[in-house]
Structure 1
């Protein structure tokens, strides 16, 4: 049975006593998605929620701090408290970053909460479910990456019952734990890639979904290690294998009446035939309008763009290559698989789910405010066309690299405003009262990452260019 989710500090204290919790991980995330935590004895639970857990932000990752900066303090949200399913004496709680007693504007969770609050002021509750794909891998004796299950080598292994059976203990533990956490897991399957799996989790409020995603990634990693494998959410760990995505299924709900506003309401006709409302189509249009800048959050690593490539008969991808929308068509960005929700297939899980969800919401709300139209439905297999052929048909492409995505992000005034201002150090790292847009900070971090990865001379370059021409 799922454990009742606590809502207050008192309920957390009671749950710790009832379940024999001895320690608690107090967790926060930086902008690249890394989850950081301090291990706090349960007898200090009141102090944890009252005073938080301090950390050197610069050491924790990219969160707008230098070695001279004051501590980042994690103030936990009691609604995120969870008993760790595979270690029953351990609790896990997620919080927001504070500095000098004030909310830290670099905190990804704070940024998402701000966008969710903006939507609520407009009367919308943003709800989101995710499908996170991952692979079970290990290294051979020569240090080469390989699929953990040596028998998982079929050309088309998707839904293969034998592969799923060989990983039965892992898959069923994961399913049971997701259900135990109260997330209503409804399926685990072997996905299209060798060694690839997916666990479907039902939708929730966007902040709750992002919190779940952070814990899910941690849980999958821990369970895989217990089963003698490594779990990777890397978008494209193998050149000749399907990549790992994190599809977002999104909808907006009426705050007062709990009605799905993406569904065509009584008396509202949908001439396009998907049973969607004008609000839904405006939201889709906003996503398409801002897709190139949004990609810097949804596909936030150099490796992400090795996943976002057209599929072939021998190398399947099932990913979007263009800014299009339509029905149950997996070659495009926005897929309409059922009434009342839209699926964005762009995101992967190599970054911060908070930032990606915040960007998706900001883009969609802009579409609603400006009453944008998503344009014609796409029913084509977009993998059949070259980039130039797509352009000839008026179909706009997604960015081809992290560098390109960051370029477009820098030009996107809507996302720039949505992510707000952050403190900026003066010359030579001196503290100052100056500020800058969060977007500019993020772009610097990501461009540095781009150069760190792409400036490295690779073995294939040596092979191809050393003695040529």
Structure 2
């Protein structure tokens, strides 16, 4: 729930990280890095990597490194298909020596047979960001990553790692923060070392739930950092005998894990969201910003297939209550001011917050969906209607509902098909998620046994 800091309208985010003229070898050696994780994500968000010695970094940079896409899963391949070649983006190089001595990471763009691979989420976001740039627009984003710190009990159940974290309303509790001081400060120190500009760690609304924030950047950089931070949080938690989970709803009676995205459009150094003339709804926003909001609201049902992409996601957005008394998850496609019950919140005149995403979202696909949905509103000059009116479409109640919405929405389907419309990425993704839903549906649960065993 912490509010990411967005700059004054005259400021554009600085170009982060190393530039493309530096070599992986020189960067790694300067940081004492001996091995590089050459990383990409599948459509389902799984981080995949090979561990490359620094002595082979030149070959990695020049030729990439190969993967069997079918084995990775969620990459649109069969065993007979050619290798997925991960080509590193030097600008994403990240030393991770605080995780393991001598370790570093570089995010990669998967290619197949010499072409950017249509099923690769990072390639999808890069493609759409480049198209927006050709129109003179770039998406800047900040993200709120919520997660639980848990452990397995002797009976196999999942419990909060801190047994003392048992208050009905634990949000912002100083004592809960202090008991997790070593973990939280290790993560924050890591972000300081990387130059991400962390500015807060807080105890969230659920017992055992935390959030750590870092400064905004262009959408691709922020998506990379979300993948990296999830990895860092999980590895550092493991070192302390805990499991960090970004699962949307690990506990039925507690708040779920969101991935809230703070979004703004820019033209070079010029912010496009602050009002520069008429402000029809008094939020300090431009007509461009209102149209962007309208696009997010209009495409919200289909967009949920990408920003809330699991069966468990809809236990979060469909929740009616929690131990704390609030779910903090939107139930309708509405928008409004500084009001956290809406799908789209307007904290100030510089940005909007999309609150529908959760911790299971692939960060590249979530950003790509938000960009395209918002830009569709801009291109068509949509009006979101009066704030707080709750005029938007209903949100999906299950993953299957979200898949149906995706299949009926040309704009959001076009996100998945951005690299190659003939590749069938959107159809593949829809079927992947449909089968995920049916896999869950075919499992007999304790709820069913309790309800039906002697019902008739």
Does residue 412 of structure 1 match 2:424?
A: no
Q: CA RMSD in A?
A: 1.6
Does residue 142 of structure 1 match 2:155?
A: yes
Q: Which consecutive unaligned segments of at least 5 residues does structure 1 have?
A: 380-392, 424-433
1:441 maps to which residue? 428
2:189 maps to which residue? 176
2 CA distance for matches of 1:199 and 1:183?
Answer: 12
2:205 maps to which residue? 192
2 CA distance for matches of 1:421 and 1:7?
Answer: 26
Deviation sequence 1:51-84 (CA, Å, 0-9, x none): 1010111001111100111111100000010100
Q: Which has the higher contact order (CA 8 A, sep 6+)?
A: 2
TM-score, with structure 2 as normaliser: 0.93
1 CA distance for matches of 2:416 and 2:130?
Answer: 13
Displacement of 1:436 in angstroms is 4.7
SS in 1 for 2:395: coil
Does residue 277 of structure 1 match 2:286?
A: yes
2:7 maps to which residue? none
Does residue 251 of structure 1 match 2:264?
A: yes
2:245 maps to which residue? 232
Q: Which of 276, 294, 303 is residue 312 of structure 2 equivalent to?
A: 303
Displacement of 1:438 in angstroms is 1.8
SS in 2 for 1:17: helix
Does residue 358 of structure 1 match 2:368?
A: yes
1 CA distance for matches of 2:281 and 2:374?
Answer: 19
Deviation sequence 1:130-167 (CA, Å, 0-9, x none): 00100000111111110000000000000000000000
1:204 maps to which residue? 217
Q: In the alignment, is the contact (CA less than 8 A) between 1:127 and 1:204 conserved in 2?
A: yes
Displacement of 1:376 in angstroms is 1.4
Displacement of 1:351 in angstroms is 3.0
Q: Which consecutive unaligned segments of at least 5 residues does structure 2 have?
A: 1-15
1:327 maps to which residue? 337
2 CA distance for matches of 1:317 and 1:120?
Answer: 37
1 CA distance for matches of 2:21 and 2:436?
Answer: 39
Displacement of 1:28 in angstroms is 1.0
2 CA distance for matches of 1:99 and 1:283?
Answer: 34
Deviation sequence 1:386-442 (CA, Å, 0-9, x none): xxxxxxx7553211011001101001012223432788xxxxxxxxxx945321111
Does residue 161 of structure 1 match 2:174?
A: yes
1:461 maps to which residue? 448
Deviation sequence 1:105-124 (CA, Å, 0-9, x none): 11100100111111111111
2:399 maps to which residue? 402
1 CA distance for matches of 2:50 and 2:383?
Answer: 47
Number of residue pairs matched by the alignment: 439
1:116 maps to which residue? 129
Q: Which of 105, 114, 117 is residue 101 of structure 1 equivalent to?
A: 114
Displacement of 1:313 in angstroms is 6.6
2 CA distance for matches of 1:224 and 1:102?
Answer: 38
Deviation sequence 1:334-359 (CA, Å, 0-9, x none): 01112210000000121311111111
1:133 maps to which residue? 146
